[in-house]
Amino acid sequence: MPAKLSVNVNAIAMLRNRRDLPWPSVEGLGRIALRAGAHGLTVHPRPDERHVRRSDLPVLRALLDDEFPQAEFNIEGYPSEEFLSLVEKTEPDQVTLVPDDPAQATSDHGWDFLGQREFLAPVVQRLKKAGIRVSLFANPDPAGMDVAKALGADRIELYTGPYGGAHDDPARAARELEKLGKAADAARSAGLAVNAGHDLTVANLPALARRIPDLAEVSIGHGLTADALEHGMAETVRRFIKACG
Protein backbone atom coordinates (compact mmCIF):
# COMPACT_ATOMS: atom_id res chain seq x y z
CA MET A 1 0.00 0.00 0.00
CA PRO A 2 1.44 3.44 -0.90
CA ALA A 3 2.42 5.80 1.88
CA LYS A 4 -0.39 8.10 2.98
CA LEU A 5 0.03 11.83 2.46
CA SER A 6 -0.45 14.28 5.31
CA VAL A 7 -0.33 17.90 4.17
CA ASN A 8 1.57 20.18 6.53
CA VAL A 9 -0.16 23.57 6.46
CA ASN A 10 2.51 25.54 8.34
CA ALA A 11 3.87 27.22 5.21
CA ILE A 12 0.36 28.34 4.29
CA ALA A 13 -0.06 29.81 7.77
CA MET A 14 3.31 31.55 7.56
CA LEU A 15 2.25 33.29 4.33
CA ARG A 16 -1.06 34.33 5.89
CA ASN A 17 0.71 35.72 8.94
CA ARG A 18 2.62 38.27 6.83
CA ARG A 19 -0.54 40.40 6.89
CA ASP A 20 -3.32 40.94 9.41
CA LEU A 21 -5.73 39.30 6.96
CA PRO A 22 -7.49 35.92 6.84
CA TRP A 23 -5.95 34.78 3.56
CA PRO A 24 -4.58 32.50 2.35
CA SER A 25 -7.00 30.45 4.39
CA VAL A 26 -5.41 27.55 6.25
CA GLU A 27 -8.82 25.95 6.63
CA GLY A 28 -9.79 26.55 3.00
CA LEU A 29 -6.61 25.13 1.51
CA GLY A 30 -6.74 22.25 3.97
CA ARG A 31 -10.21 21.47 2.68
CA ILE A 32 -9.00 21.52 -0.93
CA ALA A 33 -6.12 19.18 -0.05
CA LEU A 34 -8.42 16.72 1.68
CA ARG A 35 -10.96 16.79 -1.15
CA ALA A 36 -8.10 15.99 -3.56
CA GLY A 37 -7.26 12.84 -1.60
CA ALA A 38 -4.83 13.81 1.16
CA HIS A 39 -5.02 11.39 4.09
CA GLY A 40 -4.78 14.12 6.69
CA LEU A 41 -3.36 17.44 7.85
CA THR A 42 -0.24 18.19 9.88
CA VAL A 43 0.49 21.26 11.99
CA HIS A 44 3.49 22.31 14.06
CA PRO A 45 2.30 24.98 16.51
CA ARG A 46 5.42 26.73 17.78
CA PRO A 47 5.42 28.88 20.92
CA ASP A 48 5.85 32.15 18.97
CA GLU A 49 3.01 31.25 16.56
CA ARG A 50 5.09 32.31 13.56
CA HIS A 51 3.42 29.55 11.56
CA VAL A 52 0.22 27.85 12.70
CA ARG A 53 -1.52 29.67 15.55
CA ARG A 54 -3.22 28.05 18.51
CA SER A 55 -6.50 29.46 17.20
CA ASP A 56 -6.07 27.41 14.00
CA LEU A 57 -6.25 24.09 15.82
CA PRO A 58 -9.94 24.05 16.78
CA VAL A 59 -10.83 25.25 13.28
CA LEU A 60 -8.91 22.40 11.66
CA ARG A 61 -10.22 19.92 14.23
CA ALA A 62 -13.78 20.95 13.30
CA LEU A 63 -13.00 20.72 9.57
CA LEU A 64 -11.84 17.14 9.97
CA ASP A 65 -14.66 16.14 12.30
CA ASP A 66 -17.45 17.71 10.26
CA GLU A 67 -16.33 17.14 6.67
CA PHE A 68 -13.56 14.53 6.60
CA PRO A 69 -14.05 12.18 9.55
CA GLN A 70 -11.91 9.52 7.87
CA ALA A 71 -8.90 11.86 7.68
CA GLU A 72 -6.26 12.19 10.38
CA PHE A 73 -4.90 15.13 12.34
CA ASN A 74 -1.17 15.04 13.14
CA ILE A 75 0.32 17.59 15.52
CA GLU A 76 4.10 18.01 15.70
CA GLY A 77 6.02 19.73 18.43
CA TYR A 78 8.43 19.76 21.31
CA PRO A 79 6.75 18.20 24.37
CA SER A 80 6.58 21.18 26.70
CA GLU A 81 3.72 21.26 29.19
CA GLU A 82 2.03 23.93 27.10
CA PHE A 83 2.27 21.75 23.98
CA LEU A 84 1.02 18.63 25.76
CA SER A 85 -1.96 20.49 27.18
CA LEU A 86 -2.78 21.85 23.73
CA VAL A 87 -2.58 18.34 22.27
CA GLU A 88 -4.83 16.87 24.95
CA LYS A 89 -7.40 19.59 24.29
CA THR A 90 -7.28 19.11 20.49
CA GLU A 91 -7.30 15.28 20.51
CA PRO A 92 -5.33 14.56 17.31
CA ASP A 93 -4.98 11.08 15.86
CA GLN A 94 -1.20 11.29 16.01
CA VAL A 95 1.41 13.36 17.80
CA THR A 96 4.91 13.59 16.35
CA LEU A 97 7.39 14.60 19.04
CA VAL A 98 10.39 16.60 17.83
CA PRO A 99 13.44 17.76 19.80
CA ASP A 100 13.18 21.36 18.55
CA ASP A 101 14.53 24.40 20.30
CA PRO A 102 11.80 27.10 20.17
CA ALA A 103 14.17 29.36 18.20
CA GLN A 104 14.77 26.84 15.40
CA ALA A 105 13.50 27.78 11.96
CA THR A 106 12.49 24.17 11.34
CA SER A 107 13.12 20.67 12.63
CA ASP A 108 16.64 19.56 11.73
CA HIS A 109 17.48 16.48 13.81
CA GLY A 110 15.91 13.54 15.58
CA TRP A 111 15.90 12.41 19.20
CA ASP A 112 18.78 10.74 20.98
CA PHE A 113 16.54 7.91 22.13
CA LEU A 114 18.94 6.42 24.64
CA GLY A 115 20.24 9.72 26.04
CA GLN A 116 16.76 11.26 26.32
CA ARG A 117 14.97 8.13 27.40
CA GLU A 118 14.06 9.36 30.89
CA PHE A 119 12.62 12.58 29.47
CA LEU A 120 10.60 10.89 26.74
CA ALA A 121 9.18 7.93 28.67
CA PRO A 122 6.57 9.81 30.77
CA VAL A 123 5.63 11.99 27.80
CA VAL A 124 4.92 9.00 25.58
CA GLN A 125 2.99 7.30 28.37
CA ARG A 126 0.87 10.41 28.92
CA LEU A 127 -0.05 10.66 25.25
CA LYS A 128 -0.74 6.95 24.94
CA LYS A 129 -3.03 7.15 27.97
CA ALA A 130 -4.99 9.81 26.08
CA GLY A 131 -5.43 7.36 23.18
CA ILE A 132 -3.11 9.19 20.80
CA ARG A 133 -0.71 7.46 18.42
CA VAL A 134 2.86 8.56 19.13
CA SER A 135 5.57 9.05 16.51
CA LEU A 136 9.11 10.10 17.45
CA PHE A 137 11.25 12.18 15.10
CA ALA A 138 14.33 10.12 14.26
CA ASN A 139 17.68 10.59 12.58
CA PRO A 140 18.46 8.29 9.62
CA ASP A 141 20.38 5.98 11.94
CA PRO A 142 19.50 2.40 12.94
CA ALA A 143 20.76 2.95 16.50
CA GLY A 144 18.15 3.30 19.21
CA MET A 145 15.09 2.01 17.40
CA ASP A 146 14.65 -0.71 20.04
CA VAL A 147 14.73 2.02 22.69
CA ALA A 148 12.05 4.01 20.83
CA LYS A 149 9.87 0.92 20.82
CA ALA A 150 10.51 0.27 24.51
CA LEU A 151 9.41 3.83 25.27
CA GLY A 152 5.99 2.92 23.90
CA ALA A 153 6.16 4.74 20.57
CA ASP A 154 4.03 3.42 17.73
CA ARG A 155 6.06 4.96 14.93
CA ILE A 156 9.15 6.94 14.12
CA GLU A 157 9.28 9.74 11.57
CA LEU A 158 12.55 9.65 9.67
CA TYR A 159 14.16 13.05 9.19
CA THR A 160 14.68 13.22 5.44
CA GLY A 161 16.33 16.66 5.32
CA PRO A 162 19.80 15.47 4.20
CA TYR A 163 18.17 13.37 1.47
CA GLY A 164 16.10 16.31 0.26
CA GLY A 165 19.14 18.56 0.46
CA ALA A 166 21.01 16.33 -2.00
CA HIS A 167 18.61 17.21 -4.83
CA ASP A 168 21.49 18.35 -7.06
CA ASP A 169 23.91 15.52 -6.19
CA PRO A 170 22.65 12.06 -7.26
CA ALA A 171 25.52 10.19 -5.63
CA ARG A 172 24.99 11.88 -2.27
CA ALA A 173 21.22 11.39 -2.58
CA ALA A 174 21.78 7.66 -3.08
CA ARG A 175 23.94 7.50 0.05
CA GLU A 176 21.39 9.41 2.11
CA LEU A 177 18.60 7.21 0.77
CA GLU A 178 20.42 4.08 1.90
CA LYS A 179 20.87 5.56 5.38
CA LEU A 180 17.12 6.12 5.52
CA GLY A 181 16.49 2.59 4.29
CA LYS A 182 18.72 1.02 6.93
CA ALA A 183 17.10 3.07 9.67
CA ALA A 184 13.67 2.01 8.42
CA ASP A 185 14.80 -1.63 8.39
CA ALA A 186 15.88 -1.32 12.02
CA ALA A 187 12.63 0.37 13.01
CA ARG A 188 10.60 -2.35 11.32
CA SER A 189 12.62 -5.04 13.09
CA ALA A 190 11.90 -3.31 16.40
CA GLY A 191 8.17 -3.35 15.70
CA LEU A 192 7.76 0.30 14.74
CA ALA A 193 5.89 1.70 11.76
CA VAL A 194 7.78 4.29 9.73
CA ASN A 195 6.75 7.81 8.70
CA ALA A 196 9.00 10.28 6.90
CA GLY A 197 9.19 14.01 6.41
CA HIS A 198 11.28 17.06 5.55
CA ASP A 199 12.14 18.42 2.10
CA LEU A 200 10.32 15.65 0.27
CA THR A 201 9.26 16.42 -3.29
CA VAL A 202 7.54 14.84 -6.28
CA ALA A 203 11.03 14.17 -7.64
CA ASN A 204 12.54 12.38 -4.64
CA LEU A 205 9.51 10.56 -3.23
CA PRO A 206 9.43 7.64 -5.70
CA ALA A 207 12.94 6.43 -4.79
CA LEU A 208 12.14 6.72 -1.09
CA ALA A 209 8.95 4.71 -1.57
CA ARG A 210 10.86 2.00 -3.44
CA ARG A 211 13.53 1.72 -0.73
CA ILE A 212 10.95 1.74 2.09
CA PRO A 213 7.97 -0.03 0.50
CA ASP A 214 6.02 -0.22 3.75
CA LEU A 215 6.36 3.50 4.50
CA ALA A 216 3.22 4.41 6.42
CA GLU A 217 2.97 8.17 5.98
CA VAL A 218 4.79 11.18 4.61
CA SER A 219 4.21 14.65 6.05
CA ILE A 220 5.00 17.36 3.51
CA GLY A 221 4.64 21.11 3.74
CA HIS A 222 7.29 23.32 2.14
CA GLY A 223 7.75 21.49 -1.15
CA LEU A 224 4.05 20.82 -1.52
CA THR A 225 3.11 24.43 -0.84
CA ALA A 226 5.74 25.64 -3.29
CA ASP A 227 4.35 23.34 -5.99
CA ALA A 228 0.82 24.52 -5.21
CA LEU A 229 1.81 28.03 -6.30
CA GLU A 230 2.42 26.59 -9.76
CA HIS A 231 -0.09 23.75 -10.05
CA GLY A 232 -2.80 24.65 -7.54
CA MET A 233 -3.39 22.78 -4.29
CA ALA A 234 -5.68 20.05 -5.63
CA GLU A 235 -3.45 19.10 -8.56
CA THR A 236 -0.36 19.26 -6.34
CA VAL A 237 -1.89 16.85 -3.83
CA ARG A 238 -2.71 14.45 -6.66
CA ARG A 239 0.87 14.70 -7.95
CA PHE A 240 2.32 13.94 -4.52
CA ILE A 241 -0.05 11.02 -3.98
CA LYS A 242 1.05 9.56 -7.30
CA ALA A 243 4.71 10.04 -6.33
CA CYS A 244 4.10 8.05 -3.15
CA GLY A 245 3.53 4.99 -5.29
Least confident of 18-22, 57-61, 89-93: 18-22
Q: Taking 90 as the threshold, does the pLDDT of residue 221 lie above it?
A: yes
Q: What is the pLDDT of residue 108?
A: 73
Nearest partner of 203 among 169, 238, 166, 243, judged by Cα: 243
Q: What is the pLDDT of residues 63-88, one digit of tens each?
A: 999 999 999 999 999 999 999 999 99
pLDDT band at 103 (very low <50, low <70, confident <90, very high): low
The fold of 4-243 is: TIM Barrel (3.20.20)
User: Distances in Å between the alpha carbon of 207 and those of 140, 203, 214?
Assistant: 16, 8, 13
Q: What is the pLDDT of residue 105?
A: 57
**187, 216 Cβ separation under 8 angstroms:** no
Which sequence positions are flagged as catalytic?
44, 76, 198
Contacts of 28 (CB under 8 A, 6+ apart): none
Q: What is the pLDDT of residue 20?
A: 87
pLDDT band at 106 (very low <50, low <70, confident <90, very high): low
Q: What is the pLDDT of residue 58?
A: 98
pLDDT band at 100 (very low <50, low <70, confident <90, very high): confident
Provide the whole-model pTM.
Answer: 0.95
Q: Domain spans of the chain?
A: 4-243
Q: CA 208, 136, 107: angle at the middle one, nearest 5?
A: 75
Average pLDDT estimate for 118-141: 98
Least confident of 50-64, 102-116, 122-136, 172-186: 102-116
Average pLDDT estimate for 155-163: 98
Q: Taking 70 as the threshold, does the pLDDT of residue 125 lie above it?
A: yes
Q: Taking 70 as the threshold, does the pLDDT of residue 89 lie above it?
A: yes
Q: What is the pLDDT of residue 211?
A: 98
